[in-house]
Structure 1
Amino acid sequence: MTAPTSALPKTIYAIQHLAFEDLGTLEDTFYEHDYRVRYFEAGVDDLKKAFEFEGLVIILGGPIGVYETEDYPFLNDEIAYLKQRLAKNLPTIGICLGAQLIAHALGAKVYAGHQKEIGWSKLKIQNIPNNPLLPLENTEVLHWHGDTFDLPEHAELLASSEIYPNQAFRIGQNILALQFHVEVAADSMEKWLIGHTCELRKAKINIPQLRHDNEKYAPILESKSPQVLANVMNQLSF
């Protein structure tokens, strides 16, 4: 990652919904450039401090839906804090569930999709002038979700897939939502296969084939994710 040009605080806050879905290779990139990382566990920690942080906050993935507030009441606070954060235009990245939370907080509908999207496939990157954010054309990225969302009002669509049209969007310079996983580390993918075994079997996913694809594509994505991160951080406005 090239050195960020923004005056970004040197601590990154990450909100985690599942132990093995962490910052992955992005965490290593942060450390290489002298950033610190602090994790907050959703459902366990008080997230108010995290969402009020004026530096970069990254909201990570997880297997629950944003609409499951009756079963997971902590989502009510998380969504309320996120709405306040987005209203202040504080720098925020959402990945998978994090992207769905951003879409929901911005007033868009989040709902169960017509099929699970689990596995590796290429994105259709939108041809937007001066859009260097996602240098992932012709690159297989990891999808792992069943829910999808409508595009929020005033959002700029950045990427789509063959199955779901809304794979990435941004609001201005400081708010970015990625439905796909750009952060996965190649040497940690077996954790995903173990931790999500019930979902994989229910969706009739071929686990040996997915493992093979992980081994084939994850190192390539891992080599490109630092540049994605650099592009995002260099556009942040303080």
Structure 2
Amino acid sequence: MQPADAGCKDYKTEANMILIVKHIGIEGPGSLGEFFNNTSWQVSIVEIGAGEKLPDSLQGLQALIVLGGPMNVYEEAQYPFLKEEDTFLREAIKRKIPVLGICLGAQLLAKACGAAVTQNPEKEIGWYRLRLTDKGRQDPFFEGLPERFSVFQWHEDTFEVPAGAALLAEGDTCHNQAFRFGENAYGLQFHIEVTPEMIASWFCSYQGAAATHDIMDIMAHSHRAQRDLSKLADRIYLNFSRMIGAPEKAIAGR
């Protein structure tokens, strides 16, 4: 077990635990980890892509956060841990544990909720404008956010909105950008956790995927947009933490 910035072993969940599932070393929790490490919750990461195992039990789990990664949800033969995640997510949803899925995590959540995940007509890499839907403007997850905002994207797949779920945000290049299933399971196709340093490392590691994009322009935009993204992300983290049932001291001063 480990804090949100180091490696961990197999373990069981403990009381007051927020669990982050990480698929690859360079796609860590970023600003999200920083936010929750400054609360009174115990925050731990399972590096599932590196062979670490999910907990045997969800007992004591306060929230589940699933990060992004370069694999696709339908590549279970190549990445067997995706099946384990699917089972784990289904159980978390069944128990109404708050869930936040980011990029691949959102696609895994959509799949666990019974929706299809397919290739988007156009790959999104860089900064894109999104807009909240009517339901998104009314949802506490996006409370305090403007109706339109810019986010960083890096994906080639998209999810269908699960049956019974609410579409909360949409875009032009990829329509389905955020959804809520049930009361507290949220999927975001976009990245709110990134920093310019993280984005630069992705360009170094995923050069083939970004070959047709203007890296210098995207990086310049990333530095300009960082302050606005940080404010947007912190508000989302705060809203989500309140849904977890945050003890007063957990979010004091936020």
TM-score normalised by structure 2 residue count:
0.83
The 3-state SS of whatever aligns with 2:218 is helix
The 3-state SS of whatever aligns with 1:55 is strand
Structure 2: how far apart are the matches of 1:214 and 1:200? 15
What corresponds to 1:71 in structure 2?
Answer: 78
Could you tell me whether the CA contact under 8 Å between 2:62 and 2:244 is conserved in 1? no
Structure 2: how far apart are the matches of 1:220 and 1:60? 21
Please show how residues 207-226 of structure 1 align to structure 2 within 5 Å. Answer: 207-226=215-234
Residues 186, 35 of structure 1: CA spacing in aligned structure 2 closer, same or farther, 3 A cutoff?
Answer: farther
Gaps in structure 1 of 5+ consecutive residues = 1-8
Could you tell me whether the CA contact under 8 Å between 1:110 and 1:148 is conserved in 2? yes
Structure 2: how far apart are the matches of 1:54 and 1:190? 33
Could you tell me whether the CA contact under 8 Å between 1:157 and 1:169 is conserved in 2? yes
Please show how residues 23-172 of structure 1 align to structure 2 within 5 Å. Answer: 23-43=29-49, 44-49=51-56, 54-128=61-135, 130-134=138-142, 135-172=145-182
Structure 2: how far apart are the matches of 1:230 and 1:157? 21
User: How far 1:237 sits from its partner (Å)?
Assistant: 6.1
Aligned length: 228
Give the ranges of 4+ consecutive aligned residues of structure 1 lying more than 6 Å apart after TM superposition: none
Percent identical across equivalent pairs?
Answer: 32
The 3-state SS of whatever aligns with 1:66 is coil
What corresponds to 2:242 in structure 1?
Answer: 234
Could you tell me whether the CA contact under 8 Å between 2:98 and 2:243 is conserved in 1? no
Could you tell me whether the CA contact under 8 Å between 2:63 and 2:244 is conserved in 1? no
User: How far 1:182 sits from its partner (Å)?
Assistant: 1.0
Structure 1: how far apart are the matches of 2:93 and 2:134? 26
Is the deviation greater in 75-84 or in 89-98?
Answer: 75-84
Quote the RMSD (CA, aligned, Å).
2.0
User: How far 1:51 sits from its partner (Å)?
Assistant: 5.4
Could you tell me whether the CA contact under 8 Å between 1:122 and 1:137 is conserved in 2? no
Gaps in structure 2 of 5+ consecutive residues = 1-14, 247-254
Summarize deviations over 1:61-84 as a string: whole Å, max 9, x none.
001100011111221222122212
Could you tell me whether the CA contact under 8 Å between 1:56 and 1:91 is conserved in 2? yes
Residues 119, 136 of structure 1: CA spacing in aligned structure 2 closer, same or farther, 3 A cutoff?
Answer: farther
